[in-house]
C-alpha cells in the first residue's frame, strides 16, 4: 500500500478498508508515512468523516501500535476520567485525589494543551520539581501508595496516537470527531482502567460547539469503551463560559488547591463532585461520599502525597507572570456572557498555550477573571487580569477580547446553563 492511495480514498469520501487503516497507522508510527501525508489524511477525515466500523478499526490499530497496561495487581478498583478539553478546565487536579480518597485507584494519563484549551500536564509542570514522565513501574508504585497518579502516557502506550495528537494541534484537525474519539479511547483502553467517565465539553470554548456534536462524540466513545469491556459513561458539560476564575497553568493549579482546601469557585466544585460520583459508581463504590472527603481534608492529603511522589513540592510557591494588564468593564449592569473561546485564545496568546507542537509554555501566563455571568458590574471595574512574562503579547491577546463579553442593563434577569447538561451511558 501507499499513503497517497489511502489519502485519495478518504478525500473522495470513500470508506477506508481495515487493511488500509492497519497499514497507515503502522506505517505512520514507524515513520514510513510522513507528517505532511498524515496531515492530509487527517484533514480528509475532518471534512468527510468516518463510519462506526472505520472508527472502531482506527482505534484498534492505535491500541495495537503499542503495549497494554494491567492493574490487576492493585487492591483497589480502577476508574479514570477524560475531558475533551476546555478553558479553565482544571477539574482533573482536584478530582483524581478526591476519588482516590474515597477508595478507588485513579490512573490518570493526561495530555498537553491543544490550541486554545489547556493541558493538564502543562499545568502540573508549573509545580517546582514535578515530573510528568514516569515509568510504568513508577506509575504502579504511585498508584499503590497514594491511590492516584497523573502522568504522561509512556512511549509504549498507543505511540501512534502520541504522534497524531501533536500533529492535529498544528494542522487545524483537532475538531475531527473520529480522531478525537479514537485518540481518547485508544489510550484509555490500552491504559487498562476498569471504568471510565468522559467529560465531553460543549459550547464556544469546546471543540464540540453544539449539543448534537457533543452527543455524537460521547455516544461514539461510550460505544468504543463498552465494546472493549470498559464500563463507560459520559457527561455533557457546559463550556460556553470558562470554568472557575482562571485560565492558565500555575493560575489553575492555585485554584485547584483552593478547591481541595474547601474553597474555590462553585462551578469547579459542582463539576468535580458530579464526576467523582460517576467515577465511584462505575467503580462499584456507590456508598463513598466525595463531598465528605473534600470537606475533611482527606482529598488534600492525597494531593500532597501524589505531587510529592512525582518529585513535586506541594508547598512550593507557584510561578507568577512578571507583567499584568487589567481589562475593565465598558459599562455598568449585569454580565450576561463571558465567552470561553475568546478567553482561551487570549490565554493562549499570552503564552499559556502553544502555536506549534515544539513550543514551550509560560507557567505564569493566562487570564484571571474577576466576574462571571450573572454578576453585577460597574463601569471601569476590573473584569479580568491578563498575565504574561512578555508584555509585547498583550496587544495580540487583547484583540481576542473586544466581543468576549456582554453587559445588560441593571436588573436584567439571568439564568445560567447547568454545569452538567446531559448524561449518556
Model pLDDT for residues 1-60, shown as the tens digit of each residue = 899 999 999 999 999 999 999 999 999 999 999 999 999 999 999 999 999 899 999 999
List of residues 6+ apart from 228 with CB closer than 8 A: 185, 189
pLDDT at 403: 95
Please, what are the domains in the chain? 3-49 (1.20.970.10), 80-309 (3.40.1030.10), 323-408 (3.90.1170.30)
What is the distance, to the nearest Å, from the Cα of residue 34 to the centroid of all Cα atoms in its chain?
Answer: 27
pLDDT at 123: 97
pLDDT at 74: 92
Q: How far is CA 13 from CA 33, 152, 322, in A?
A: 21, 35, 50
Buried b (16+ CB within 10 A) or exposed e, 216-229: ebbbbbbbbbeebe
Mean pLDDT for 328-354 is 96
Query: Would you say 423 and 222 are in contact if contact means Cβ atoms under 8 Å apart?
Result: no
Q: At what angle do helices 35-48 and 18-30 cross, to 10 degrees?
A: 140
Q: Which of 167-171, 390-394, 420-424 has the lowest mean pLDDT?
A: 167-171
Q: Confirm whether 82 is a catalytic residue.
A: yes
Residue 230 has pLDDT above 70, yes or no: yes
Q: Confirm whether 182 is a catalytic residue.
A: no
Active-site residue, selected from the candidate residues 57, 168, 277, 354 = 168
pLDDT at 357: 66
| Mean per-residue pLDDT over the chain, rounded | 95
Positive or negative: CA dihedral 242, 248, 254, 260 = positive
Active-site residue, selected from the candidate residues 10, 81, 82, 393 = 82
Active-site residue, selected from the candidate residues 80, 122, 161, 339 = 161
Q: What is the pTM of this model?
A: 0.90
**Three-state SS for 325?**
strand
pLDDT at 118: 86
Mean pLDDT for 210-223 is 95
C-alpha cell at 81: 476520567
**CA end-to-end span of the chain:** 38
Q: Confirm whether 155 is a catalytic residue.
A: no
Active-site residue, selected from the candidate residues 187, 215, 349, 354 = 187
pLDDT at 115: 72
What percent of the chain clears pLDDT 70, i.e. is strictly above it? 99
What percent of the chain clears pLDDT 90, i.e. is strictly above it? 85
Residue pLDDT, tens place only, 90-138:
999 999 999 999 999 999 988 888 678 889 999 999 999 999 999 989 9
Mean pLDDT for 287-291 is 97
Active-site residue, selected from the candidate residues 39, 83, 182, 183 = 183
Query: Would you say 225 and 232 are in contact if contact means Cβ atoms under 8 Å apart?
Result: yes
Q: Confirm whether 116 is a catalytic residue.
A: no
Interior CA angle at 343 toward 424 and 204, to 5°? 35
Phi, psi of 382 (to 5 degrees): -60, 130
Residue pLDDT, tens place only, 151-180:
998 778 889 988 998 898 789 898 899 998
Amino acid at each position: 500500500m501507499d499513503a497517497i492511495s489511502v489519502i485519495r480514498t478518504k478525500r473522495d469520501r470513500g470508506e477506508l478498508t481495515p487493511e488500509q487503516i492497519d497499514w497507515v497507522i503502522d506505517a505512520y508510527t514507524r515513520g514510513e508515512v510522513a507528517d505532511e501525508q498524515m496531515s492530509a489524511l487527517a484533514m480528509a477525515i475532518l471534512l468527510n468523516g468516518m463510519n462506526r466500523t472505520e472508527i472502531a478499526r482506527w482505534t484498534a490499530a492505535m491500541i495495537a501500535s503499542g503495549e497494554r497496561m494491567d492493574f490487576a495487581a492493585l487492591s483497589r478498583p480502577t476508574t479514570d476520567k477524560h475531558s475533551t478539553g476546555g478553558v479553565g478546565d482544571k477539574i482533573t487536579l482536584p478530582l483524581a485525589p478526591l476519588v482516590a480518597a474515597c477508595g478507588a485507584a485513579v490512573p490518570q494519563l493526561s495530555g498537553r494543551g491543544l490550541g486554545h484549551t489547556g493541558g493538564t500536564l502543562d499545568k502540573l509542570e508549573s509545580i517546582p520539581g514535578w515530573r510528568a514522565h514516569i515509568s510504568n513501574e513508577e506509575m504502579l508504585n504511585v498508584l499503590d501508595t497514594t491511590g492516584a497518579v497523573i502522568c504522561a502516557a509512556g512511549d509504549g502506550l498507543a505511540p501512534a496516537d502520541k504522534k497524531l495528537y501533536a500533529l492535529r494541534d498544528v494542522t487545524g484537525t483537532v475538531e475531527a470527531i473520529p480522531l478525537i474519539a479514537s485518540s481518547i479511547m485508544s489510550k484509555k483502553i490500552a491504559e487498562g482502567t476498569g471504568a471510565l467517565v468522559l467529560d465531553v465539553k460543549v459550547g464556544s470554548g469546546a471543540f464540540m460547539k453544539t449539543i448534537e456534536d457533543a452527543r455524537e462524540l460521547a455516544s461514539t466513545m461510550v460505544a468504543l469503551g463498552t465494546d472493549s469491556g470498559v464500563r463507560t459513561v459520559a457527561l455533557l458539560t457546559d463550556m460556553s463560559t470558562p470554568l472557575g476564575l482562571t485560565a492558565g497553568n500555575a493560575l489553575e493549579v492555585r485554584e485547584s488547591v483552593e478547591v481541595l482546601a474547601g474553597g474555590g469557585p462553585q462551578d469547579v466544585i459542582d463539576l468535580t463532585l458530579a464526576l467523582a460520583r460517576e467515577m465511584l459508581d462505575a467503580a462499584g463504590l456507590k456508598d463513598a461520599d466525595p463531598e465528605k472527603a473534600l470537606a475533611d481534608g482527606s482529598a488534600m492529603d492525597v494531593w500532597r502525597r501524589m505531587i510529592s511522589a512525582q518529585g513535586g513540592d506541594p508547598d512550593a510557591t507557584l510561578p507568577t507572570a512578571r507583567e499584568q494588564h487589567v481589562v475593565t468593564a465598558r459599562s455598568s449592569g449585569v454580565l450576561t456572557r463571558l465567552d470561553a473561546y475568546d478567553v482561551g485564545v487570549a490565554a493562549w496568546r499570552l503564552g499559556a498555550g502553544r502555536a506549534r507542537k515544539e513550543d514551550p509554555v509560560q507557567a505564569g501566563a493566562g487570564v484571571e477573571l474577576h466576574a462571571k455571568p450573572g454578576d453585577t458590574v460597574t463601569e471601569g471595574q476590573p473584569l479580568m487580569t491578563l498575565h504574561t512574562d512578555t508584555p509585547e503579547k498583550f496587544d495580540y491577546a487583547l484583540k481576542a477580547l473586544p466581543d468576549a463579553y456582554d453587559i445588560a442593563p441593571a436588573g436584567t434577569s439571568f439564568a445560567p446553563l447547568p454545569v452538567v447538561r446531559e448524561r449518556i451511558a
